[in-house]
Amino acid sequence: MVVHSARSLKSWWWVLGLLALALSMSVDAAPRSAKSAQRSAERPAAGKNVRHAKSAPAVRATSRARRVAAVRAVPHRPSLGELQGLHATDDPLELKSSVAFVIDQDTNQVLLSKNPDAVLPIASITKLMTAMVVTEAGQNLDDLLSVSPDDIDTEKGSRSRLKVGTQLTRGEMLHLALMSSENRAANALGRHYPGGLSAFVAAMNATAQRLGMTDTRYVEPTGLSSQNRSSARDLSLLVKAAYERPLIRELSTSPEAAFEVGSRLQQFRNTNGLVRNPTWDIGLQKTGYISEAGRCLVMQAQLAGRKLIMVLLDSAGKYSRLGDAERIRHWLLDQAGTVAASHGR
């Protein structure tokens, strides 16, 4: 009996120990369960609702902030004109362009001159000479040309809507090069010239020499290379010669046009917004930009009863070349009004 009672007592102690352990675990688990419940309440529900945890405006604001930060992180690359100190040159109109040259097309009278002989990169103003060589060669404008990997910009990494394999006529390529400054179109025009790209560049330089453009040199047909250089005085000769070709006048001033690119009809617009401005009467134009050249613009326009040639190079802001053109227009109109008033007395 004694042995049996001892064994029973040990069994009871063992049971009581298990009960105490279970009670302790349940007490500890209660705070943990409360904390888990609180964390679960604070977490967004799983599934589709997770995507809406951050509001759309907050996401957009974050994306904008990241883009702005990325832009600010890109260091300013001074143009060659800036490096040469040309922006410090004073002019009566306080132009943002370091180079400006305006002449009467018929009389060659110089109406405005600011660093006209500075030799600078000219960016896509190059494409005017590209158009000159194409039109002078008399190549069939209906021939189909293909965009190839050789037309991809490996120098500046610029984008293009003309994918490799795109086929357009020579006339369409010329239209896109002049109106929308399409680099792949301009390069394709050079590649499809008799003798290829090297012969085309040689023809560009030969034409420049024939026109008396002694400060001008071309190394390729797009303007992406900063080695394509000229002066404002030289470019006025190019604009005058290009204006004599009706096709260049028409294509360069076209406000917009649609082209079949692959299986889609795509709309392209003119890079110069002034062609859509009814206060301007523009007979020929071309814009250009690379960091080494700044913002560039050449135009032929009728203003105050005169045919004018206008060259603006190395402008310091995205829209400043257009602002400079407007300043010049108002200045010339004011001058014409003053002359008319004095003659009326």
Catalytic residues: 124, 127, 181
Grouping H, G, I as helix, E, B as strand and the rest as coil, residue 176 is: helix
How far is the C-alpha of 85 from the C-alpha of 79, rounded, in Å? 10
Residue owning tokens 């008396």: 212
One-letter amino acid identity for 229?
R
Torsion region of 158: left, alpha or beta (phi above 0 gives left; psi -120 to 50 gives alpha): beta
- CA 284, 117, 323, 105 dihedral sign is negative
Helix ranges (H only) for 43-147 are: 56-73, 80-83, 126-137
Query: How buried is 314 (Cβ within 10 angstroms: 0-12 exposed, 13-18 middle, 19+ buried)?
Result: buried
- Name which of 140, 138, 173, 142 is nearest 245 in CA terms: 138
One-letter amino acid identity for 121?
P
- Name which of 301, 322, 324, 330 is nearest 103 in CA terms: 301
- Name which of 81, 78, 79 is nearest 232 in CA terms: 81
Token pair listed for 218: 């071309």
One-letter amino acid identity for 23?
L
